[in-house]
Amino acid sequence: MTVQLPAPDEPLRMVAVHAHPDDESSKGAGSTAKYVREGVQVTVITCTGGERGDLLNPQLRDDPEITPERLPEIRRAEMKKAQEILGVDHEWLGFVDSGLPEGDPLPPLPEGCFASYPVEEAARPLVEALRRLRPHVMTTYDENGGYPHPDHIQVNRISLAAFDLAADPDYAPELGEPWAVAKLYYINAFHRQRFAAVSRHLRAEGTPNEALDQMLQHYDESHDRLLTTRIDVRDYLGIRDDALRAHATQVDPEGPFFRISHEAEVAAWGTEDYELHISRIGVKLPERDLFAGLRHEAMEARA
């Protein structure tokens, strides 16, 4: 398979695959906002409409305009607003939210939902998107989905499948010309190392965050994710938060996402973090750029 590297006058391209509207704003939003403003063509692909999401903003629970019947429409409007704030392009993959089944025994998935599809069948529209958009970099979730929501786990599965199938000239030629994405990353959005650093900073400042410290008790250091690539997003935290607040039905504006100041985040960590899971080009780790090895000046230096 041939990886087509960007030409000198060709924009870099990135696809970020997410499960539901709002995931793009809580996972990697600072990075996508940064890259858009640097001239990268960034497309967010949302696999489902988030139809089974709960109304999580207590300030809206008595709003008569927000009904279960209207929630899909509302979530699409919220996604449009977040897209505009981030500056990304956006596409829906068209699947129906699986919800988060709970109970013992665990109830079956809803019929026809995203996570119920065979992986290769669910990957087909993503293969078509990758061949059409021709990204150099793709981001997705790890094998646990970042957290074990069935749609997040399915995102991982179809992303890995589409990464391979999009490059296979023998697979589904009706979906477009083959395209080999150069690099596939896992988004490590919520990890112990970052939270622990922020907690230490807040304690040193005399302003410990009890909720953060309680959350850290559920993390096991032996399960820390690999951080190969750290993107400086210190200048994009405001954009990230604005995009997340755009998902008003899904986010409590007084909730834990917003209780840690930007000053504390910048001082303690200041990056969004990724794991380079597959690369079809030579790399040198650690990285500070998802496009490391793909920018033309770097390729000229290697020549």
232 is in an annotated binding site: no
Q: Label residue 300 by pLDDT band (50, 70, 90).
A: very low
* Nearest partner of 195 among 303, 285, 268, judged by Cα: 268
HSE, CB side, 13 Å, CA atoms: give it for residue 138.
34
149 is in an annotated binding site: no
252 is in an annotated binding site: no
pLDDT at residue 77 is higher than 60: yes
Mean pLDDT of 139-167: 96
Mean pLDDT of 136-165: 96
Q: Which residue has the tokens 């996402």?
A: 257
Q: Which two tokens stand for residue 47?
A: 């696999």
Beta carbons of 15 and 130 less than 8 angstroms apart: yes
Residue 137 is which amino acid? Answer: V
* Nearest partner of 158 among 258, 290, 17, judged by Cα: 17
**CATH 3.40.50.10320 applies to domain 13-302:** yes
Q: Where are the domains of the chain?
A: 13-302
Q: How long, in residues, is the chain?
A: 303
Residue 242 is which amino acid? Answer: D
pLDDT at residue 45 is higher than 50: yes
Q: Label residue 89 by pLDDT band (50, 70, 90).
A: very high
Mean pLDDT of the chain: 93
Residues 6+ apart with CB under 8 A from 287: 228, 229, 230, 276
Residues 6+ apart with CB under 8 A from 221: 192
pLDDT digit string (tens) for 172-229? 999 999 999 999 999 999 899 999 999 999 999 999 988 889 889 889 888 898 999 9
Report pTM: 0.94
Residues 6+ apart with CB under 8 A from 108: 101
Residue of higher predicted confidence among 96 and 71:
96
3-state secondary structure of 138: strand
pLDDT at residue 1 is higher than 80: no
Residue of higher predicted confidence among 298 and 221:
221
User: Angle, to 10 degrees, between the axis of helix 119-133 and the axis of helix 150-165?
Assistant: 60
* pLDDT for 303: 44
pLDDT at residue 299 is higher than 70: no
The pLDDT > 70 percentage for the chain reads 97
Q: Label residue 297 by pLDDT band (50, 70, 90).
A: low
Rounded to whole angstroms, how far apart are CA atoms 42 and 137?
10
Helices (H), the chain: 23-26, 29-37, 71-86, 119-133, 150-165, 192-204, 210-216, 237-246, 262-268, 296-302
